[in-house]
């Protein structure tokens, strides 16, 4: 970005600061979605002042980019979008804002892309305390800063009291895939190895306990975290990763079934090798849940050729987001499109795709 453009944007920022009056309302009203002064004050005081970057300062109906900056980093764009309706808004280890940023960053990262920019659209329920919205927006900016991305445009809507549950967020992300990187479930081959970067099921368990509907107490926190730096570290030592996906809704079992179906192979995993905290196992036993289907928000599943498995595992363990990484299984040729679990008793059972939902509104 040249100096003249930066100077122009800085002037716009200063003009905006002088025009903006601090938002004094304590609760969201329908006027905050009307397109008038109340909405302007909400957007500038709560969103623009926190997300604070040159692209957003322009306050246009769209964010514009220099294509040359994309081409200098890779040869393909990656685009993803997701909506977040988690209940409750705040939970051990995170909140809906941090979740929205990290979830979208991770969806880009597992394609091999370098995440660059996010959008942020919110649907607010009339009556929502403004202080709660500020906390969530602050959390979004902190998460964006940690992940190295900018939130550059967005939208705000307000609905009548009772028409939504406090706050919903939609984020769209764009990133650049470096040349030579081709990560897809269709690349998976027999003899490949399956690796996860740590303990599974923590997010789903943390959400369940935080709802306060059960007389259970644990110290489990959500694993919500950005994975883009871990992915970059992996690709630096092994660009030949075959497949990679973050295990969110539906958990590990759903990801592996998607892999097996796309590549027409079978995947065998070993119960004794799957990292699950004892507290998570205990909660699942009490409630009749299967931890293989519990949601995660900071876990990825990596499939790589056996010849590269050890170096990938080693570099994952050297990273804070992968210190508990382990090999949990392997790809076999048959029966096609099936996931098998080798139990601690030496028997095998089929791990099918999740039917229904063990726990709704976990992201």
Q: Mark residue 250 as left, alpha or beta (left: phi above 0; alpha: psi -120 to 50; beta: remaining).
A: left
Question: What DSSP element (H or E) covers 3?
Answer: helix 3-19
Low-confidence residues of the chain: pLDDT under 70:
1-21
- Same domain for 53 and 146, yes or no, is yes
pLDDT of residue 236: 97
- 189 and 164 fall within a common domain: no
**CA of 263: how far to CAs of 13, 135, 183, 188, 256, in Å?**
50, 43, 13, 6, 11
End position of a domain, from candidates 126, 160, 177: 177
Indicate if 200 and 162 belong to the same structural domain: no
Token pair belonging to 168: 């919903």
CB 363 within 8 A of CB 298: no
Residue 356 lies in a domain: no
360 is a domain residue: no
Say what the pLDDT of residue 19 is.
Answer: 54
The Cα 54–Cα 254 span in angstroms is: 40
What is the rounded distance in angstroms from the CA atom of residue 10 to the CA atom of residue 350? 59
Same domain assignment for residues 136 and 152 = yes
- Distance between CA atoms of 175 and 227, rounded to whole angstroms? 14
**Is there a contact between 250 and 357 (Cβ–Cβ < 8 Å)?**
no
pTM: predicted TM-score of the whole model, two decimal places: 0.93
Residues 31-77 pLDDT 10s: 999 989 999 999 999 999 999 999 998 888 999 999 998 999 999 99
Tell whether 158 and 261 lie within a shared domain: no
Output the domain CATH number for residue 22. Answer: 3.30.1330.10
Question: What's residue 218's pLDDT?
Answer: 80
Is there a domain that residue 361 lies in?
no
**Could you tell me if residue 359 is inside a domain?**
no
Edge-first strand listing for the sheet containing 76-84: 76-84, 167-177, 114-125, 150-159
pLDDT at 214: 74
Return the pLDDT at 354.
83
From 157, 177, 197, the end of a domain falls on 177
Considering the domain architecture, whether residues 256 and 223 belong to the same structural domain is answered as yes
Same-domain pairing of 328 and 200: yes
Which of 177, 210, 226 is the C-terminal boundary of a domain?
A: 177
Cβ neighbors of 252 (< 8 A, separation 6 or more) are 196, 200, 269, 274, 292, 293, 296, 299, 301
Sign of the four-CA dihedral 22, 24, 28, 34: negative
Element holding 102 (H helix, E strand):
helix 96-109
Q: How many structural domains is the chain composed of?
A: 2
Residue 116: both structure tokens together:
């660059």
> In terms of domains, do 86 and 205 share one?
no
Whether the CB-CB separation of 254 and 201 falls below 8 Å is answered with no
pLDDT in tens, 77-86: 999 999 999 9
Same domain, 173 and 308: no
pLDDT at site 285 = 92
The domain containing residue 151 runs over which residues?
3-177
Q: Residue 313 is part of a domain; what is its CATH number?
A: 3.90.650.10
273 & 154 share domain = no
| Claim to verify: residue 126 and residue 212 sit in the same structural domain | no
The answer as to whether 355 is a domain residue is no
Do 22 and 160 fall into the same domain? yes
Is 268 within the bounds of a domain?
Answer: yes
Pure H helices in 195-344: 202-210, 228-237, 251-263, 278-287, 306-317
| pLDDT given at position 22 | 78
- Domain membership of residue 262 (yes or no) is yes
Considering the domain boundaries, does residue 162 fall inside one?
yes
274-287 in b/e burial notation, b at 16+ Cβ within 10 A? bbbbebbeebbeee
What tokens appear for 176 in the block? 């650049």
């Amino acid at each position: 970005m040249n100096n003249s453009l930066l100077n122009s944007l800085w002037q716009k920022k200063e003009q905006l600061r002088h025009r903006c009056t601090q938002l004094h309302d304590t609760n969201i009203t329908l006027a905050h979605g009307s397109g008038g002064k109340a909405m302007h004050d909400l957007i500038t005081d709560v969103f623009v002042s926190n997300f604070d970057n040159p692209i957003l300062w322009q306050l246009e109906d769209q964010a514009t980019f220099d294509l040359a900056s994309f081409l200098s980093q890779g040869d393909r764009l990656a685009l993803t979008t997701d909506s977040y309706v988690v209940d409750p808004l705040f939970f051990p280890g995170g909140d809906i804002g941090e979740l929205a940023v990290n979830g979208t960053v991770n969806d880009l990262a597992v394609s091999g892309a370098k995440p660059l920019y996010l959008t942020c659209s919110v649907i607010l329920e009339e009556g929502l305390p403004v202080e709660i919205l500020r906390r969530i927006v602050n959390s979004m900016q902190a998460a964006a800063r940690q992940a190295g991305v900018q939130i550059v445009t967005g939208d705000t809507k307000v609905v009548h009291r009772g028409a939504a549950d406090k706050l919903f967020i939609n984020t769209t992300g764009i990133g650049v895939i470096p040349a030579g990187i081709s990560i897809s479930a269709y690349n998976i081959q027999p003899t490949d190895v399956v690796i996860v970067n740590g303990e599974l099921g923590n997010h789903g368990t943390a959400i369940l306990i935080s709802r306060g509907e059960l007389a259970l107490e644990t110290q489990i926190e959500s694993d919500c975290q950005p994975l883009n730096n871990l992915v970059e570290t992996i690709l630096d030592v092994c660009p030949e990763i075959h497949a990679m996906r973050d295990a969110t809704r539906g958990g590990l079992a759903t990801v592996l079934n998607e892999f097996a179906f796309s590549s027409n192979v079978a995947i065998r995993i070993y119960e004794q090798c799957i990292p699950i905290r004892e507290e998570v196992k205990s909660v699942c036993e009490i409630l009749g849940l299967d931890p293989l289907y519990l949601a995660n928000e900071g876990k990825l599943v990596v499939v790589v050729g056996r010849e590269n498995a050890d170096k990938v595992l080693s570099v994952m363990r050297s990273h804070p987001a992968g210190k508990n990484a382990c090999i949990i299984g392997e790809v076999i040729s048959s029966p096609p499109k099936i996931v098998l679990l080798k139990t601690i008793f030496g028997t095998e059972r089929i791990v099918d795709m999740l039917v229904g939902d063990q726990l709704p509104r976990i992201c």
